[in-house]
């Protein structure tokens, strides 16, 4: 089932999510609905707050032809997509950083260059309930960092350069006001 998206200005996007205690049927149903919603929205990642939930849960799907190095070799051939990440935790960041254009389904039409560590060590619970660890790099590492930020109430605009944020401030204020009005908060 496709779930309704939450947009910038919705307080749930600033909430820190709660750890999942046990992997239940209901949680797996939610994860499946999030994967379907991500596909329908043509996104590469979706975090629970973006559909109004507060579980520490996000889903990621980077197409195989994007998950490649400069020579076209697959970077993470051992990782199946979509990834369902329960209680994900980034346990290490590389010193190397990279800047790249990002967008977010909760900010339609808004993008900006975001500098992030190139590689991470990621630990998470799988739908089967086991805890696994992976080293991620490149675009997949970036998407996971973006989604784990969401689980901590951190949004990509928080990581934009001050100059870009100033340039976007009018549009962001308008988006926030529209969301608040739609929610009956304004």
| Residues assigned a catalytic role | 147
151 interacts with Ni ion by CB under 5 A: no
Residue 36 three-state SS:
helix
Q: Rounded to the nearest whole angstrom, what is the least distance from the CB of residue 102 to Ni ion in the complex?
A: 8
The site that binds Ni ion (CB under 5 A) totals a number of residues, namely 1
Which of residues 43 and 138 has its CB atom nearest to Ni ion in the complex? 43
Q: In whole angstroms, give the CA distance from residue 91 to residue 135.
A: 10
Q: In whole angstroms, give the CA distance from residue 121 to residue 134.
A: 6
φ/ψ bin of 130: left (φ > 0), alpha (ψ from -120 to 50), beta (otherwise): beta
* Residue least distant from Ni ion (Cβ): 104
Site string for Ni ion, 57-86 (x = CB under 5 A): ------------------------------
Angle (CA) 136 138 139, round 5°: 105
Asked if 154 and 83 count as a contact pair (C-beta separation under 8 A), the reply is no
104 interacts with Ni ion by CB under 5 A: yes
143 interacts with Ni ion by CB under 5 A: no
> What residue ranges bind Ni ion (CB under 5 A)?
104
């Amino acid at each position: 089932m496709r779930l309704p998206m939450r947009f910038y200005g919705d307080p749930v996007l600033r909430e820190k999510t709660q750890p999942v205690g046990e992997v239940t049927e209901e949680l797996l149903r939610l994860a499946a609905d999030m994967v379907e919603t991500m596909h329908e929205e043509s996104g590469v990642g979706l975090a629970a707050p973006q559909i109004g939930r507060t579980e520490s849960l996000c889903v990621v799907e980077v197409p195989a032809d994007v998950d490649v190095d400069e020579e076209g070799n697959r970077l993470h051939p051992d990782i199946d997509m979509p990834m369902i990440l329960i209680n994900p935790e980034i346990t290490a960041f590389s010193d190397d950083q990279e800047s790249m254009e990002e967008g977010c389904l909760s900010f339609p039409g808004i993008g900006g260059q975001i500098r992030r560590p190139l590689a991470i060590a990621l630990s998470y619970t799988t739908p089967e309930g086991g805890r696994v660890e992976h080293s991620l790099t490149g675009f997949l590492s970036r998407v996971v960092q973006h989604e784990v930020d969401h689980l901590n109430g951190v949004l990509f605009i928080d990581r934009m350069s001050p100059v870009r944020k100033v340039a976007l401030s009018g549009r962001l204020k308008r988006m926030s006001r529209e969301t608040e009005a739609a929610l009956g908060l304004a």
